[in-house]
Amino acid sequence: GQQLNQSPQSMFIQEGEDVSMNCTSSSIFNTWLWYKQDPGEGPVLLIALYKAGELTSNGRLTAQFGITRKDSFLNISASIPSDVGIYFCAGPRDSNYQLIWGAGTKLIIKP
Q: Which positions lie near other proteins, rule CB under 8 A?
A: 31, 33, 35, 40-45, 48, 88, 90, 92, 96-99, 101-104
Q: Closest distance between other proteins and the C-beta of residue 40, in Å?
A: 7
Pick from 4, 21, 2: nearest CA to 101: 4
Q: Closest distance between other proteins and the C-beta of residue 111, in Å?
A: 21
Q: Closest distance between other proteins and the C-beta of residue 78, in Å?
A: 27
CA distance 10 to 79: 15
For other proteins, the closer CB: 31 or 62: 31
For other proteins, the closer CB: 41 or 82: 41
For other proteins, the closer CB: 43 or 66: 43
Q: Closest distance between other proteins and the C-beta of residue 19, in Å?
A: 19
Pick from 105, 102, 67, 110: nearest CA to 86: 105
Q: Please list, residue by residue across 8-31, b when 16 or more beta carbons sit within 10 angstroms of its beta carbon and e when fewer do.
A: eeebebeeeeebebbbbbeeebee
For other proteins, the closer CB: 80 or 99: 99
Quick count: other Cβ atoms within 10 Å of Cβ 7?
13
Residue 40, classed as helix, strand or coil, is: coil
